[in-house]
């Protein structure tokens, strides 16, 4: 799916809709992220470390779901808003012509300060709207699984959503181990930090980035 940093969560929503409509019983959502070839180390705003990884999520009807650590989707919303401030253009795979192989349009391009200023309010409002939809307040959210691009962005969103600085347990960070893995980041955070839940506990799964795109799911632990 061409929504970059939100591909995993957009994919989960599409899978959930397929299950609800009866067109599928079980859907395996796989999102490989091959990011390091896209880095332009000559550009200050985009040479931060990316990681290469793949994650997989299984989406199925609750009547047939088995196994440990299951989450039920109780609210969801993807959004897009056009911006040219984060883009990859045609990408690094189009480097066949030697005279243009190293041109900047073959690499990831970002205007980081504009992104920080514009994306964070959009994401914070999206999460708040989905919480309101299912009548949840800040005290009802056990964990925030956020897109893993920048710890300052996650802390900002966590503070907006919770009304205070989130603890490391409430908004887990996996950047130190995996770096920025685009849409896979929030899935890795969920996978690595899903202990301590009781039935009925609520959490937020949210990714955001290129496009701009963002996608928020409210999850209930089964």
In Å, the largest CA–CA distance within the chain is 59
Encoding tokens for residue 150?
A: 């920048």
140 vs 110, more confident: 140
166-189 average pLDDT score? 95
Q: How many CB atoms lie within 10 A of CB 221?
A: 18
Q: What whole-number distance in Å separates Cα of residue 75 and Cα of residue 133? A: 7
Average pLDDT value for the chain: 91
Ranges of H-type helices in the chain:
7-21, 112-133, 151-162, 175-178, 184-192
CATH code, domain with 70: 3.40.47.10
Whether the pLDDT of residue 2 is over 70: the answer is no
pLDDT confidence of residue 139: 96
* pLDDT tens digits, 9-24: 999 999 999 999 999 9
What residues act catalytically?
Answer: 5
Q: How many domains are contained in the chain?
A: 1
Q: What is the pLDDT of residue 81?
A: 87
What is the distance between the alpha carbons of residues 147 and 144, in angstroms, rounded to a whole number? 10
Distances (CA, A) of 128 to 20, 34, 111, 144, 171: 25, 31, 26, 12, 16
pLDDT at 130 over 70: yes
8 Å CB contact between 180 and 49: yes
pLDDT in tens, 62-101: 888 888 889 999 999 999 988 888 777 767 777 778 888 8
Share of the chain above pLDDT 90, in %: 66
The size of the chain, in residues, is 222
Rounded to 5 degrees, φ, ψ at 132 are -60, -35
* Calpha distance 151→171 (Å, rounded): 10
Q: Does 1 score more than 60 pLDDT? A: no
What is the pTM (predicted TM-score) of this model? Answer: 0.91
With cut-offs at 50, 70 and 90, classify the pLDDT of residue 43.
confident
Average pLDDT on 129-142 reads 97
Residue at token pair 């995996």: 178
- Tell me how many degrees the CA angle 81-2-192 measures, rounded to the nearest 5: 95
Backbone angles phi, psi at 202, to 5 degrees: -110, 145
Range of the domain at 193: 4-221
């Amino acid at each position: 799916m061409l929504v970059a940093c939100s591909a995993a969560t957009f994919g989960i929503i599409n899978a959930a809709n397929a299950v609800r409509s009866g067109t599928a019983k079980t859907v395996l959502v796989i999102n490989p992220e091959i990011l390091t070839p896209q880095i332009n180390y000559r550009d200050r705003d985009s040479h931060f470390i990316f990681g290469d990884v793949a994650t997989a999520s299984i989406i199925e009807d609750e009547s047939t779901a088995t196994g440990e650590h299951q989450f039920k989707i109780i609210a969801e919303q993807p959004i897009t808003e056009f911006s040219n401030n984060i883009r990859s253009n045609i990408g690094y795979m189009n480097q066949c012509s030697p005279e243009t192989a190293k041109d900047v349009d073959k690499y990831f391009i970002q205007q980081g300060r504009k992104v920080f200023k514009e994306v964070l309010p959009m994401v914070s409002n999206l999460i708040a709207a989905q919480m309101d939809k299912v009548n949840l307040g800040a005290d009802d959210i056990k964990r925030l699984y956020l897109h893993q691009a920048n710890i300052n962005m996650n802390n900002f969103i966590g503070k907006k959503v919770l009304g205070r600085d989130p603890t490391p347990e409430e908004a887990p960070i996996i950047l130190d181990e995996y770096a920025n893995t685009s849409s896979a980041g929030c899935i890795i955070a969920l996978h690595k930090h899903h202990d301590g839940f009781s039935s009925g506990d609520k959490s937020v799964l949210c990714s955001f980035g290129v496009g701009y795109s963002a996608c928020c799911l409210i999850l209930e632990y089964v």
